[in-house]
Chain A
C-alpha cells in the first residue's frame, strides 16, 4: 500500500460536518422552527381573542353549562324547561346531540337501503331499471344537498293544513304542513328486562349451537344447525317476552353500583386516570423498544424512533396536566356521569315495571300540535322531514355509485373461475363476488356515513334543532362562541372516530392477507 500516493492522504475520516451542512441537524432545525412559528401564531391569536373577549366582558370557560337555557327547542327528547326537569344549557346541547345522532342513524339506514337497490339496478339487464337508476343518481348527486333540503321544505310547506285539533287522528300516515305522522313501535317499560333476559338466554343458545355445529363437522351431512338455532332463538324471544319481570332483581344492584361510583373522591379519580395515562405511554414505549430488539442485540434507534418515544411521553404528560391543572372538572364530571349512568340503568329495572317490552300507537294531536316522543305515534316535523329526505336521497345517490363500483371492481375472472368450479350463479355471487365487492365498498361507504352525520348540521338552514343549531342559539344568548365551537369539534370528532373505528375493524376482518 505504501506505493499508493493518493490513498490515505485525501481521506480524512470521522470529521463532523459543520452544523449548517449537517443533514440531520438541518432536518430537525427546520421542523422545530416551523413548529415554534405555528405555536407562536396560535399563542398570539389566542391571546388576542382573550383580550378581545375580556374587553367585551365575556368570561372564558365552561361554567355557563349549568345555567338555565331560557329558550325552547323545536323538537327533541326535552323541549321546554319544567320544574321536575330543568333545561340547562348543557341539557339543551345534549338534546341537540341526540337529535343529530337520531337523524344520522336513521338517515344512514335508509340511504344504505335505497343506495344498494339503486346501485344494483344500475347493473340490471332491464332497460327501464337501468335508465331510471342512472337518472336518479346523476340528478340527485349533482344538486347541492342544501338546495335539496330547502326544496323539500318548500314542497312540504305547501301541503294541506290539518283541520283536526285534538285527539288521535284517523288513518295510518298523515302528511300535512305539520309533518309526516306515522304509527310507531316504541320501547315500553319491560324493554330492558326483556333485553337482559334475552342476552342471558342467547349465551346458553350459543353453547348449544356450538355443540351441534361440532357434531355437524364430525358427522357431515346436513343437520340444519342454522334452522334449529333460529328456532331456539325464537323460543327464547317468546320466553323473554313473557318472563321478563324476572330480571327486576338487577335494579337494586345497579343502584348500589351507582352509589359506590358516586362515592369515589375526585382526587382518587385523578390519580387513577393519571396512572392510566402514564401507564399507557410506558407500555407503548416498552412495546416499541421490544419491536426494535433483534437477535443480535438492540438495533440502532434512528431520530424518528426517538421522536416517537418522546412524543408518546409528552402526550401522556400533557394528559396528566389536563387532569390536574387544565381541566380538573373532567374527573368530577366522570365521577358524576358514571354514577348517573348506573342510576339510570337502575331506574330502568326498578320495581313496578310493566311486562310489555314494546308497544305501538298512532299519532295524537294535542291543541293543534302533534305530541311527539313518548308513548304516542311518531311525527316527523317538516323540518325533520325536509332534512331527512334531503340527506337520504342525496347520500343514497353516492352510495349507489359506490355499490355499483364495488361490484364492477371484482374482476370478471373471479365469477368465471367460480363457474368453472361448478358453483351456480347465486353461490358464485354469495361466496365469491359479494365478499370481494364488500371489501371495496366498505371504506367509501364509511366516508358517506360520516358525510351524513356531518351534513345533519345543515338542519340549521331549515330550523331543525340539531347540535349546531342549538349551539348557535346558545352562543347568541351568552356569546360563549369559543366554548361552543370546542363542543362542536369534540362532538363531531367523536362521531367520526366512532364511525372510522367501526369501518376499520370491519375492514380488518375483510382484509385479504397479502405479503
Chain B
C-alpha cells in the first residue's frame, strides 16, 4: 500500500477515484519539481495540499489539468488518462475547473462575459441560457450586481469570486484551487473562503493548495504535506494537527501555526 492510500477512512475508500497520480515526475530544465508523487483524490473529497514554497504543490495541481506536462508517471482524472491524446486533454479540461492565485480574469471582457465565455464556445450553449446560469452563479458567490462591470473595477475578493463562478459555469466535476487567497488583502480572504466552504458542503471534489490552516482544519477530508517534490505525509486534519508522524511535517507546522 502506497502512502496515498494510508489513512483512508472506510467511507472514503469506498468511493470512486477522481484523481489518481502515480509516480508523477516533472523537470523544469535541470530542476526536478516532482519526484514521483502518488496521490489519490476520491469522489466528493476535499484534499488540501500543504508545504513550503517551492515544494511542488502548485506544479502538481497544474499537471492535473495539463497546464504543465508531466514527464513520467500516470495521471488519471475521472477514468481518463492524461496523455498526448487531444481528446482526453479536451475532456479533462472541460471537467476540471481551476482557480488561480492571480485570478486571471479576462480584463477585456465584462464579468458576465468572463463567465459565459467557456459555456458558449466550449460547451456550445445558447447565449441566453449561459447568461441565465451565469447570473445564478453570481448570486451564489454573492455579487450579482457586478455583472456588467469589468474585472479591473472589482476588488480582489470580488475578482476571485468571479473566477470561482467562471469555473463553476462549466459544471466541473473537480475543482482545483491554486493558492486562491494568497494575493488577497486579509479582509477579503474570508469572503472567498466562505464560497469555497459552500462548495465543499455541496459535495464538490476539490484539491486546494493553500496556507489557510483554519480552512484546512475545518473543511478538508485529508491533508497532503509535500516537500521538495515529494509527498511526505497524508492524513486527516485531526491526525495532522494533533499527531503528525514525520519530523518534517512537525517542523513545518510549528513554523506556520
Is there any pair of Cβ atoms, one from A and one from B, under 8 angstroms apart in the complex?
Answer: yes
Write the residues of chain A forming the contact surface with B, with a CB cutoff of 8 angstroms: 1, 3-4, 6-7, 10-18, 21-26, 291-296, 299-300
Known: A12-B81, A16-B83, A299-B30. 17 other contacts (CB 8 A): A1-B13, A3-B13, A4-B14, A4-B15, A4-B17, A6-B16, A10-B79, A11-B76, A11-B81, A13-B74, A17-B84, A17-B88, A21-B85, A24-B84, A26-B86, A293-B30, A294-B30
State whether A13 touches B81 (Cβ < 8 A).
yes
Partner of A294, one of B13, B15, B32, B72: B32
Q: Is B89 an interface residue (CB 8 A)?
A: yes
Q: Does B39 contact A (CB under 8 A)?
A: no
Contact with A along B1-44 (1 / 0, CB 8 A): 00001000000011111001000000101111000000000000
Chain B residues within 8 Å of A22, by CB: 84-86
Q: Count A/B pairs, Cβ under 8 Å.
A: 65
Establish whether residues B79 and A23, one from each chain, have CB atoms under 8 Å apart when the complex forms. Answer: no
Known A21-B87, A22-B84; contact A3-B14, beta-carbon cutoff 8 A: yes
The answer to whether A21 and B30 have CB atoms under 8 Å apart is no
Cβ-based interface call for B104 (8 A):
no
Question: Within the assembled complex, what's the spacing in Å between the Cα atoms of A17 and B71?
Answer: 16
| Contact code string B69-97 (vs A, CB < 8 Å = 1, else 0) | 00110101001010111111100000000
Report the nearest B residue to A5, measured CB to CB: B16
When A22-B84, A23-B86 are in contact, do A13 and B30 touch as well, CB less than 8 Å?
Answer: no
Q: How far is the CA of A22 from the CA of B88 in the complex (A)?
A: 10
A10-B79, A12-B81 given; A292·B30 CB < 8 A: yes
Give every chain A residue within 8 A of B71 (Cβ-Cβ): 300
If over half of A's interface residues share one DSSP class (helix, strand or loop), that class is named, otherwise mixed; here it is: loop
4 tightest A-B contacts by CB? A17-B85, A10-B79, A294-B30, A23-B84
Complex contact A23–B85 (CB within 8 A): yes
23 A-B pairs within 8 Å (CB atoms) are namely A3-B14, A4-B14, A4-B17, A11-B20, A13-B76, A14-B74, A15-B83, A17-B85, A17-B87, A17-B88, A18-B85, A21-B85, A21-B86, A22-B84, A22-B86, A23-B84, A23-B89, A24-B84, A291-B30, A293-B30, A294-B29, A299-B27, A300-B27
Which B residues lie within 8 Å of A24 (CB)? 84
Q: Which residue of A lies closest to B40 (CB)?
A: A7
Q: Is the pair B84, A25 in contact by a Cβ cutoff of 8 Å?
A: yes
Q: How far is the CB of A16 from chain B (nearest CB, A)?
A: 7
Q: Give Cα A299 to B17, complex, Å.
A: 31
